[in-house]
């Protein structure tokens, strides 16, 4: 009996060690890796996730530029499983993050680099998403950077980056999304994800209600700081639109900066924050801007058609909880 037990433990330990090695990730630098050639079936393959902010940016850019591509959906735990740290995806992107664009087998990493690369591959007749004037281009880059989520420190630069505010503001929808995910799938993250804070948060969200989660001090702190900094980023964006006269960030030309910010607005929208920010009426210009972004055909191709039922359900649940429960509104907005 003892031998049987010891044998069982040895098998489990061996499985864990082997699996851990197969799922080991390491950071990658951005840009085109022409020295790597991956198996591929189409000239352009875009690996990404329906809910991921960075993946959405890249889908919007290829849609705007009329680049035909094969979409390769990769799950995050919010949409079902930790596929980003599966051995098959780590062969595509050893950092274990989405998105990755693969062009003729060569991967391009980091969403901002993918956006820039895509502009060099635009279909004939596609509009230019990058201004010719160097000063305007520098201005565009500034607004793109402000919408970026850093790979090293996703919540690290709240003051200077609206993108950094996104993970903190996403926490409430994580809680409502994770209810749909089986615990054994979250356990994969506890065992193998390089950043254990996230699976711990997801496991806690699985067993505790939204109201309880929102009362957790560190969570509330990062969420409120993200909210307050996001408000000042929105104030600056509104001033920029007023200064250029719109309809886009740089004025008449729709650019990569607008694509970055589309995804910020979408995340604020699906998590209920946009209703909160817009409710005072002070962001009327931004409200029009968001309507204009959603009206572009690229939005339909990249966002509406690629939406995920689980995220739609989680967004609905969250908004309903916010509408029905005054305590939740207090915890989020006070």
Ligand X SMILES: N[C@@H](CCC(=O)N[C@@H](CS)C(=O)NCC(=O)O)C(=O)O
User: Which residues in this chain contact ligand X in the complex, by CB under 6 A?
Assistant: 52-54, 76, 84, 97-99, 110-112, 148-151, 154
Shortest Cβ 262–ligand X spacing (Å):
15
CB 93 within 8 A of CB 45: no
8 A C-beta contact, residue 53 and residue 270: no
CB-wise, 103 or 328, nearer to ligand X? 103
Quote the Cα angle for 321-322-328, to 5°.
95
Of 131 and 163, CB closest to ligand X: 163
- To ligand X, the closest distance from the beta carbon of 111 in angstroms equals 3
277-314 in b/e form (b: 16+ CB < 10 A) is: bbeeeebebbeebbeebeebebbeebbeebebebbeeb
Residue 58 C-beta: closest distance to ligand X, Å: 8
CB of residue 248 vs ligand X: minimum separation in angstroms? 21
Burial status of residue 330 (CB atoms within 10 A of its CB: 0-12, 13-18, 19 or more): exposed
Beta carbon of residue 117, minimum distance to ligand X (angstroms, whole number): 12
Q: Which is nearer to ligand X, 205 or 331 (CB)?
A: 205
Residue 98 or 213: the one with the smaller Cβ distance to ligand X is 98
Q: Are strands 31-32 and 44-48 parallel, antiparallel or unpaired?
A: unpaired
CB-nearer residue toward ligand X: 98 or 173? 98
Closest contact distance (angstroms) between CB of 149 and ligand X is 5
Which two structure tokens, joined as six digits, stand for 41? 């079936």
Whole-angstrom CA distances from 239 to 234, 250, 283, 286 are 9, 12, 10, 10
Least distance in angstroms from the C-beta of 98 to ligand X: 4
Closest distance to ligand X from the beta carbon of 27 (Å): 10
How many residues in the chain? Answer: 334
Nearer to ligand X, 54 or 331 (CB): 54
Nearer to ligand X by C-beta: 119 or 150? 150
Q: What's the distance, CA 204 to chain centroid?
A: 21
Nearer to ligand X, 171 or 321 (CB): 171
Render 231-271 in DSSP notation, one character per residue. Answer: HHHHHHHHHHHHHH-SSBTTBSS--HHHHHHHHHHHHHHHT
| C-alpha to C-alpha distance for 61 and 67, rounded to whole angstroms | 9
Token pair in block for residue 70: 């094969």
Backbone angles phi, psi at 111, to 5 degrees: -60, -40
């Amino acid at each position: 009996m003892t031998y049987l037990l010891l044998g069982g433990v040895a098998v489990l330990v061996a499985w864990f060690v082997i699996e851990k090695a197969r799922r080991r990730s390491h950071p990658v630098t951005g840009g085109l890796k022409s020295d790597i050639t991956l198996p591929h079936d189409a000239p352009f393959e875009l690996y990404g996730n329906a809910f991921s902010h960075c993946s959405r940016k890249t889908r919007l850019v290829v849609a705007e530029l009329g680049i035909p591509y094969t979409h390769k959906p990769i799950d995050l735990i919010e949409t079902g499983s930790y596929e980003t740290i599966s051995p098959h995806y780590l062969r595509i992107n050893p950092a274990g993050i989405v998105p990755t664009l693969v062009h003729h087998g060569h991967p391009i990493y980091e969403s901002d680099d993918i956006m820039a690369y895509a502009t060099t591959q635009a279909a004939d007749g596609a509009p230019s998403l990058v201004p010719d004037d160097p000063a305007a281009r520098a201005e565009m880059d500034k607004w793109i950077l402000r919408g970026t989520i850093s790979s090293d420190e996703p919540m690290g630069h709240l003051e200077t980056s609206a993108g950094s505010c996104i993970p903190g503001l996403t926490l409430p929808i994580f809680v409502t999304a994770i209810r749909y995910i089986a615990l054994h799938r979250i356990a994969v993250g506890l065992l193998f994800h390089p950043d254990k804070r996230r699976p711990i948060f997801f496991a806690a969200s699985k067993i505790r209600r939204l109201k309880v989660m929102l009362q957790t001090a560190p969570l509330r702190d990062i969420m409120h700081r993200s909210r307050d900094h996001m408000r000042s980023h929105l104030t600056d964006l509104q001033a920029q639109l007023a200064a250029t006269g719109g309809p886009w960030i740089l004025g008449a030309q729709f650019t990569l900066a607008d694509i970055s910010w589309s995804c910020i607005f979408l995340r604020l929208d699906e998590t209920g924050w946009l209703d909160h920010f817009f409710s005072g009426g002070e962001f009327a210009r931004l409200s029009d801007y968001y309507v204009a972004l959603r009206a572009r055909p690229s939005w339909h191709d990249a966002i509406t058609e690629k939406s995920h039922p689980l995220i739609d359900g989680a967004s609905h649940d969250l908004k309903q909880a916010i509408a029905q429960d005054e305590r939740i509104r207090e915890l989020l907005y006070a």
